[in-house]
A and B are shown apart, each in its own frame.
Chain A
Amino acid sequence: MFRGVRRGAAWVVLLSLTASLAACGSGSDAGGDLTTEKVTLRFTWWGADDRHKRTQQVIDMFQKKHPNITVKGEFKEWNGYWDSLATTMAANDAPDIMQMDELYIASYAERGALLDLNEAKKHLDTANFDQKALATGAIAGKQYGLPVGLGMYSIMVNLDLLAKYNIPVPDDTKWSWDDLKSIGDQVSKAGGGAVFGVQSPGINDAAGLSIRARQQGKAMFDADAKVVLPQEIARDYWQYILDLAKSGIAAPPSVTVEKASAGLNQSATATGTAAFGLWWNTQLTALTAASGAKLKLLRLPGETQGTAPGAYYKPSMFWSVSSRSKYPAEAAAFVSFLANDEEAAKILLTERGVPANQKIREAIAGQLKDTDKAAKEYLDTVPVSDPPRITPNGASTLDTILKRHTEDVLFGRTTPDAAAASFIKEVQSEVDAAK
């Protein structure tokens, strides 16, 4: 396989060289009419099984309406997704339509890989999007991504486990991070080694750390893409994670790392081996299906103790079109279908987040399952503050840097304080390197 990769990399280099020579010629026009010829669009996304099924149904609907357009779906797990996107992008073989994340959108947009969707306005209806929501996918006035849905960070609690151990559900309107610790401890004690209180944070997502900073009125980055995260906040964050592991509130480090690397369906929440976990509220449906347990969304701890709520509306993901797509008009039409078609929305529901399209949000309200309703209600009721700046170009490795530091702390290879200093330094140097 290494040989395969090496050869793949060789192709990449070769193709990109020829591509830069051939870049002058272009295919169809983003503002032109839709073609009547037979064309194939490639559409890629990451996600779990539930998403793949729903998305395929919507693709089938689109193809029925546009018999000359074939949409080929390509889906992967989160990790493989970004590796493969980088590779295909460099090989000038990028899919036409991409599911894009906040972490990467600046990195791709600033390297010129994404189409300014304004060029395809004729085919892409954004009338029902709030300007603020649209702005989350724009950089310097260019619309590189159309926000799909909104999500919020939350605590997911397994009610079945709490009921089993006779532990009351905590009052989440004013609980603190210490409260989470102590109730987690009760669960772990009752669980007897098979079930733990808290699924350890800090492995898959830097949002948890960002939330901690925001609750104290700070942030990860400032407007100029400088890392302004105070070292004490990062230190306290890792100290907290270390305490969870050491006191047995979270599973032992090697179990935590194993489960976290194995994807959503293998997570502690999905396997019913931890009562509390940090997740995006919109993952409630997928996790309920995977765990078969009754899960409930709780507000984040520490929201009332700090200076500001840490919670915010995060665009769960964007639809982006490759700047090198041969069929930008058709790709935009497909994106428009995904974003505006009510029938499509009734299948997709809130699996990719509560729709950012306000008309669609209302149109599907009656259709929602209990878990989807709960996710929407969470979004409608929980207090938030302004969202953080978009993850700057170069910092798309933020999550993996965080994961490595968490592992170093969990396995005693460094102290929380040293991890905090090293993390800040490394993220800053990544941002600087991309300039």
Chain B
Amino acid sequence: MIIDWIYGLVGGLLIGLGGLILLIFNGRIMGASGILGQLIEGKQDTENLERIVFLIGVIAAPLIILQFSDFSTTNVTSNTIQLVLAGLLVGAGTRIANGCTSGHGVCGISRLSLRGLLATAVYISAGALTMVTLRTFWGLI
């Protein structure tokens, strides 16, 4: 249990370093939903290649580590309806709110942004309420 927290902290520091690099050198905020969303919506600027190499880095990094050690990877459900509904909600919600766990959470709160702080409080509360309803009360997920 405690070892999970230490890995969490170390992983968190690495995530923060990624954000630091992008902010200090390129002047951009490391928000996953923003970077992906702007790319697929075909935002008209000169930065789409930067977004693509960022995303390639995110996908490649775990594959590199998994060559050498076996971290717990994922326990994703195989329920199609659950995955489709969850994906639609996450995609729509993060773009409507203009940010997700990385943008509003990590980057926003560390900047003392009220929007980031409020968004994070709301999506964690909504997530916990959903969890309590679907798992604790209904035993569905």
Genuine A/B complex: no
Residues of B within 8 A of A (CB): none
